[in-house]
Structure 1
Amino acid sequence: MGITGSIARRRITVAALFVVGVVAGCASGSQAQPDRTTAVVTTTAPSTPSGVPDLDAGEEIVGDIAVPWGLAFLPDGDALVAERDTGRILRVRPGRAPEQVYEVPGVVARGESGLLGLAVARDYAETRYVYAYFTAADDNRIVRLRLDGQSEVIFDGIAKANTHDGGRIAFGPDGMLYVGTGDAGDGGRAQDPASPNGKILRLTPDGAAAPGNPTPGSPVYSLGHRNVQGLAWDQAGRLFAAEFGQNAFDEINLIEPGRNYGWPAVEGVGGADRGFTDPQIVWKPAEASPSGIAIAGDTLYVAALRGERLWTVPLHDGTLGTPQSRIPDLGRLRTVAIAPDGGLWLTTSNTDGRGDVRAGDDRIIRFPAR
């Protein structure tokens, strides 16, 4: 699938849809009840929008992109978008055709693996560094690259599989690089402190274990995760993560250093009495399968793959409220991100082998800030 599709920015009709029966998520991990049958960087920094995204004013920026996955913004507001299966990085800006600016060497795409998360260095204006998480021949790894130069591996040895590869990377407010990984199909890895799989990792921009991590010299920030594909910080610097469940519950977790989130011993709530940390919100996989997340102001946005919708969740002092279902007419949603101008960018994922492909898929939709 090429990148030469329509660049006429088509207006997208998006009707707000509140799902009756959705139960508030809270610190005890309330369950959102399913209404249909059917996985943060989502953000590269804490969200600092100029306004609230207008979800009733969606506008297509570009279509015909092959399995867009990672999305990160350059300082000028242009976006870099990773094509999972091709290994290409595209530069996307409203009103112009997408431009291929890099092809990551050595990408091996099978199943859910390939070129996944992207992050732009905080000091990009000086260093020109872009970071990418991808699946290679033997493992998942992170490279640092310049769009006009070579790439260098800064972290490797993350076990790979056709599923559960994680892949989100994001720079936190502390300037460190956070990495969401999956268990690569082996739940035991999530509880093994020596394995980088089933974890959220915290690295320096050079790929070393960050100072101040729970265990000195270890990159592990939190453990007990099945498959983390969403990372976002609120205005107070609290980290939230989206996690795919197995058959029972998907999760949004408030991440704290050194905490164990229970997989595979527990899925969803019910692990607190065994020393695990319960999620703030759970969904049935049929209504969620949450991949990318982003935070703008006092709202958490969750892109749902199998659930084929955008969830919006009120956020107050680190606690999540009642989820609301929005934008149910675009199919599978992979990534949501807040642009420097406060607009919300949303990517579909209908060409990933599990969706119903529609004319123009896959596409990027922009919702401007009010």
Structure 2
Amino acid sequence: MASRRRSLATYAVATLVLPLALAACGQGGDEVDVDVTGTAPATPAGSSPASPSAGGSSGPGAPPSGRTELPTSKRPTVVGTVVTGLEAPWGLDFLPDGDAIVTERDTTRVLRVTADGEVTELGTIDAAAPEGEAGLLGVAVSPGFADDGLVYLYVSTAEDNRVVRAELRGDRLGATEDVLTGIPNGFIHDGGRMVFGPDGHLYVSTGETGEPERAQDREDLGGKILRITTDGDPAPGNPFDSPVWSWGHRNVQGLAFDGEGRLWASEFGDSTWDELNLIEAGANYGWPEVEGRDEGTIEGGPSGDYVDPQAQWRTDEASPSGLAYADGHLYLAALRGERLWRVPVGPDGAGEPEEFLVGDHGRMRTVAFAPDGRLWLTTSNRDGRGTPAEGDDRILVLKP
């Protein structure tokens, strides 16, 4: 009999990832042509009205708690628009000089975006083969960028998903070099988020491509969080002598380390619960045997205990994608839920989620903290599942 553990309080290796389940959150492309234009961020004054609440769900079958108004000073507030006219922006990371590297899933463009809205196309990734949720996905800037100039990209090709890298020389990307190949790909559930950990290794999320059995097969790279060296080898200390760091995931879309060096992950659910997970090396997060918190036992689990999520949402409230951490809080961008979630985290795990910007900007894909401490948030209304407004897609800048 396999039980699902309620929480993870301490970790020998302080790295954890949380899946926030997104029910069939697809990203089909659309054919609208929009020119990229930049708009300098406004001063920290007016913004779109926020709709905060303490709206997390405490367990299976439990409705969200009632809305609680917060003081304006405690609400994440939109203070400007960095850029408009993007097409399904997906990956976002910052260079040491404060400029951002942004990927577009369907055009396969890699862009440099400055804080004042200047956009430069650095190149396209010819190996990418966009289809459904696949395409040019995550990006991670090398922690040694000042010396090596490398940018890592997650690419869906015609054969597989893979991690590649390229050297950024001025305003042009050089040729890509394969780092890790053979990750399963599909029309849906391709994972694609990447982040460098405090240990200098690269953490990579993968999806089970709509084939749930992959998630419970430790020899399969689908439905996992991977931990690799900068050259693509299994990182020292991995639990299974392979790239696999954790398993039993459906489709992890967000990765972030907190101030204690723990790894969190947001994950799309199927039809009931999206998840936020704290990741433990070698742990099994249960998909497809369980979705959300189990609150009991599961007969016949293949590997013993499953790990419960730290927070969960109904799939129409979240479909969480990007994840970022600062000052004791995780911030999650929600696609189907069309809102920004903020979750306090501490030594004992995650607290009660709060929701903001509900319905104000449509689908939200990626969040990242800029070097100046403000939060960049991308919309995803041109991904085939949204309703684009004039100027979509855009990058908003928030005062957290």
Instruction: Using structure 1 for the length normalisation, give the TM-score.
Output: 0.90
Does residue 389 of structure 2 align to residue 358 of structure 1? yes
Amino acid at match of 1:179: V
Measure the CA separation in 2 of the matches of 1:29 and 1:179.
29
Q: Tell me the alpha carbon deviations over residues 27-83 of structure 1, each in whole angstroms, 9 at most, x when there is no partner.
A: x78966399xxxxxxxxxxxxxxxx99722421000000110000100001000001
Report the CA distance shift for 1:62/1:357 in structure 2 as closer, same or farther (over 3 A).
same
| Counterpart among 53, 75, 95 of residue 19 in structure 1 | 53
SS in 1 for 2:215: helix
SS in 2 for 1:270: coil
Does residue 238 of structure 2 align to residue 206 of structure 1? no
Count how many residue pairs are aligned between Structure 1 and Structure 2: 349
Measure the CA separation in 2 of the matches of 1:172 and 1:204.
11
Report the CA distance shift for 1:3/1:129 in structure 2 as closer, same or farther (over 3 A).
farther
Measure the CA separation in 1 of the matches of 2:376 and 2:74.
9
Contact preservation (8 Å) 1:14, 1:55: no
Amino acid at match of 1:165: D
Q: Which blocks of at least 5 consecutive residues in structure 2 are unaligned?
A: 1-32, 67-72, 299-304
Question: Which runs of structure 2 are paired with 1:241-260 in the superposition (5 Å)?
Answer: 241-260=265-284
* 2:308 aligned residue: 278
Contact preservation (8 Å) 1:53, 1:342: no
Does residue 169 of structure 2 align to residue 138 of structure 1? no
Measure the CA separation in 2 of the matches of 1:229 and 1:3.
27
SS in 2 for 1:264: coil
Amino acid at match of 1:245: G
SS in 1 for 2:147: helix
* 2:16 aligned residue: none
Measure the CA separation in 1 of the matches of 2:88 and 2:140.
18
SS in 1 for 2:77: coil
Does residue 202 of structure 2 align to residue 180 of structure 1? no
Identity, % of aligned positions: 48
Measure the CA separation in 2 of the matches of 1:267 and 1:96.
41
* 2:83 aligned residue: 62
Amino acid at match of 2:355: S
* 2:248 aligned residue: 224
Report the CA distance shift for 1:317/1:3 in structure 2 as closer, same or farther (over 3 A).
farther
* 2:100 aligned residue: 79
Does residue 372 of structure 2 align to residue 341 of structure 1? yes
| Counterpart among 159, 177, 184 of residue 152 in structure 1 | 177
Measure the CA separation in 2 of the matches of 1:290 and 1:202.
22
Amino acid at match of 2:274: D
Measure the CA separation in 1 of the matches of 2:272 and 2:151.
36
Q: Greater Rg, structure 1 or structure 2?
A: 2
Give 1:339 deviation, angstroms.
1.3
Q: Which blocks of at least 5 consecutive residues in structure 1 are unaligned?
A: 36-51
Give 1:7 deviation, angstroms.
2.7
* 1:307 aligned residue: 337
Measure the CA separation in 2 of the matches of 1:290 and 1:319.
18
Amino acid at match of 2:325: I
Does residue 221 of structure 2 align to residue 196 of structure 1? yes
Does residue 217 of structure 2 align to residue 168 of structure 1? no
SS in 1 for 2:322: strand
Amino acid at match of 1:303: A
| Counterpart among 240, 243, 263 of residue 239 in structure 1 | 263
SS in 2 for 1:118: strand
Contact preservation (8 Å) 1:260, 1:276: yes
* 1:99 aligned residue: 120
* 2:321 aligned residue: 291
Contact preservation (8 Å) 1:29, 1:278: no
* 1:46 aligned residue: none
Give 1:103 deviation, angstroms.
1.2
Q: Tell me the alpha carbon deviations over residues 91-126 of structure 1, each in whole angstroms, 9 at most, x when there is no partner.
A: 001224311012112111011110000000000000
Q: Tell me the alpha carbon deviations over residues 208-260 of structure 1, each in whole angstroms, 9 at most, x when there is no partner.
A: 100100112x0000000000010001100011100000001000000000000
Give 1:317 deviation, angstroms.
1.4
Measure the CA separation in 1 of the matches of 2:316 and 2:266.
15
Contact preservation (8 Å) 1:53, 1:344: no
SS in 2 for 1:282: strand
Contact preservation (8 Å) 2:56, 2:312: no
Report the CA distance shift for 1:210/1:53 in structure 2 as closer, same or farther (over 3 A).
farther
CA RMSD of aligned residues (A): 2.1
